[in-house]
Amino acid sequence: MSKHAYGMRFDEDPAPTDLDIELWCYKHQDEIALKGGQVKGEACHLRNAIRILYSNTAVTKVVWHPWMDRHIDIWCDTLKEHLGFATIWGPAASSKSNTFGICTLVDWWSAPKQTYSVVCSTTQKELKKRIWASIVDHFRLYQDKFPGVLVASRLAIVNDDDVEQIAHDADSVKAGIYGIAVLQGSTDEAKSNIIGVHLPYVRMVVDEMQATRRAAVEARANLSKGCRDFRFFGLGNPMSRYDVLGEFSEPKKGWNSINVASGKWRTKYGACYHFDGFNSPGISDPDRYPFLINLAQINKDIDIYGENSADVWTFSRGFIAPEGITRTVLTESFIETYHMRDEPAWMETPIPVAMLDPAFTSDGDKCKLQFAEIGRFITGEMGIAFTDDVRIKMDVASGMPVIHDIARQTKEECEARGVTHDHLVVDDSGVQSAADAIEMEWGPPIRIQFGGKPSEDMTIDAISDTQCQDEYKDRVTEHWFTLRRFGQYGQIRGMNDETCKQMCIRERMPKVRPKKLMSKADTKEYRGLSPDDADASCMVVEVARHVLGVHPGSSDRIAAPGQTSPLTGLARKYDVDSQDDCYLSDPIEAVA
């Protein structure tokens, strides 16, 4: 039997269906040209295949909309035009997960024995709510007619002859569609779950990319080796230049080259596409597209959060909020202007210190041990440089009380880096005291309480007369804004991307004096991220000021009463601007 389509004859018995032809043409563009057929492009055939599958009256599952057309174009154009790599920015309810789920499934059906597709999200719960749900829902409509068997326990769709094998040796089964939660388990485990498959066609879709681990994106380097056609798609609601979505979406021409009206730009890795909720098809026709963001939803968010709030920019406009309109402690440009991420250059050997935030005592997600060094930079300022960090693993099955296991691990990690217990800061909030356990295991650390009162008899920096107790509502607010002041005076180096991101999303409460930060729980609820890393990093100001006498705006370490700092001689030698007669004009007031 034969059938003619696109200027070609298809000879098969039985005759191929229209869907068979569309899937073949989608996958064999080069062969169409060689046979003298009509080259329509991948997107044409993928659209046709999806319409055949899901737009008929018997199985009505897909409501076509203009943004879906753009999503399909992105899926098809990415390989030839953008190095097989694309990030997609959009608001909530923009149908990103649904459309890319459909594309993943239909693409796999075009060559099920030769295609490995992995879809990632933060957790299994999010996977099952979003992109994996889209794949499974659309697969089930044809599961008895098309290749593939759903193995729900493995979050996998595999070929029929691989079902028994995946139950005994999952790693040996390559072809299929797999759902992976990249925030579950260790970073290495998340990466190892993705890599190692080398089939002709490999697809990777990372949903909620702004909240994912960098390792998940790095896995693409392994996956792209040895395959004929590799495509990566990162989907998300953009929050910061420093999260994973922001990092891999940075314009080739720099951040100043784009704005909220930009729909597409080239990146170092490929391209980024932007969908603005203010242009949603759901605004022009909410009855036809009730699943897309609409004007009523946008106006509700504006009423609650404010038109220029970070939430409206991220979840309604699908764009990173411009600086200057949010109340966050730091901004991306502030961090870059004051070189807070740069590596330090030391004049002398610095003092190692550490900060432990057992975040489970204060509405957090992690138990974080952050290390830093404090000393004199080669430029003359006394400064702080962050080094590495450790996630303390809480092993409830060890038989040891969790709090004592934390103390043991903290001591081991600190001693390995030369940190003494009196240079370790511990948040002592909550009923379970990690500080008590550390004192029993090792020695007394520096205790603080995030919700406690701000410092008494201490000014906000070395220049101002304003007292911390007059400027800040509580200790955690004092820590965050003091770190900002250290940064403003060029005294911070080595901040990692995660800390930068968190410092750029946690906001100051409006119209509250003294200054007060939004709580950790509220930050997690409204911004989807618990600022545990930033909390741990900001604790460094405690040991810097109260133990080592290093303050924002001071080029000297201030010794304790009755003592002389061992650095005083060097400080005086290099502090060339400490005398009033060094200036030709009156000193400039410090910037608030």
Q: What is the pLDDT of residue 588?
A: 38
Nearest to 258 by CA among 276, 237, 282: 276
Residue 37 Cα distances to 30, 32, 212, 475, angstroms: 10, 5, 43, 72
Q: What is the pLDDT of residue 581?
A: 44
Point out which residues pair with 117 in neighbouring strands: 177, 203
Q: What is the pLDDT of residue 133?
A: 95
Using DSSP, state whether 178 is helix, strand or coil: strand
Tokens of 381: 């300022």
Q: What is the pLDDT of residue 186?
A: 56
Which residue is it, tokens 């029993």? 440
Q: What is the β-pairing status of strands 149-151 and 8-11?
A: unpaired
Q: What is the pLDDT of residue 189?
A: 61
Question: Residue 269: what residue type?
Answer: Y
| Phi–psi pair at 185, nearest 5 degrees | 80, -175
Q: How far apart are CA 193 and CA 153, in angstroms?
A: 15
Largest CA distance in the chain: 101
| Phi–psi pair at 462, nearest 5 degrees | -75, -5
Q: What is the pLDDT of residue 221?
A: 80
Residue 337 Cα distances to 328, 332, 435, 487, angstroms: 16, 9, 36, 10
Print burial letters for 57-69: b (CB count within 10 Å at least 16), e (below 16).
eeeeebeebebbe
Report the 10 Å Cβ neighbour count for 193. 19
Q: In the chain, what are the domains?
A: 41-315 (3.40.50.300), 339-568 (3.30.420.240)
pLDDT by position in tens, the chain (length 592): 678 899 998 887 788 999 999 999 999 999 998 989 999 999 999 999 999 999 865 655 689 999 999 999 999 998 878 789 999 999 999 999 999 999 999 999 999 999 999 999 988 999 999 999 999 999 999 988 899 999 999 999 999 999 888 877 777 788 999 999 987 555 566 666 676 677 999 999 999 998 888 877 888 888 888 899 999 999 999 988 888 899 999 999 999 999 999 999 999 999 999 999 999 999 999 999 999 999 999 999 999 888 888 889 999 999 998 877 778 899 988 999 999 999 999 999 999 999 998 865 444 457 889 999 999 999 999 999 999 999 888 776 667 788 889 999 999 999 999 999 999 999 887 656 889 999 999 999 999 988 899 999 999 999 999 999 999 999 999 999 999 999 999 999 999 999 998 999 898 988 899 999 999 888 887 777 789 899 999 999 999 999 999 999 987 764 443 343 433 333 333 343 444 444 344 433 333 3
Residues 490 and 339: beta-carbon distance below 8 Å: yes
Q: What is the pLDDT of residue 514?
A: 95
Q: What is the pLDDT of residue 305?
A: 84
Tokens of 40: 């329509």
Tokens of 188: 């290495």
Tokens of 471: 């400027």
Q: How far apart are CA 584 and CA 405, in angstroms?
A: 59
Print burial letters for 99-130: b (CB count within 10 Å at least 16), e (below 16).
bbbbbbbbbbbbbbebbbbbbbbbeeebbbeb
Burial of 188 per CB tally in 10 Å (0-12, 13-18, 19+): exposed
The secondary element (H helix, E strand) that includes residue 236 is: strand 229-236
DSSP output for 344-379? P-BSSPPEEEEEEEEGGGTT-S-EEEEEEEEEEBTT
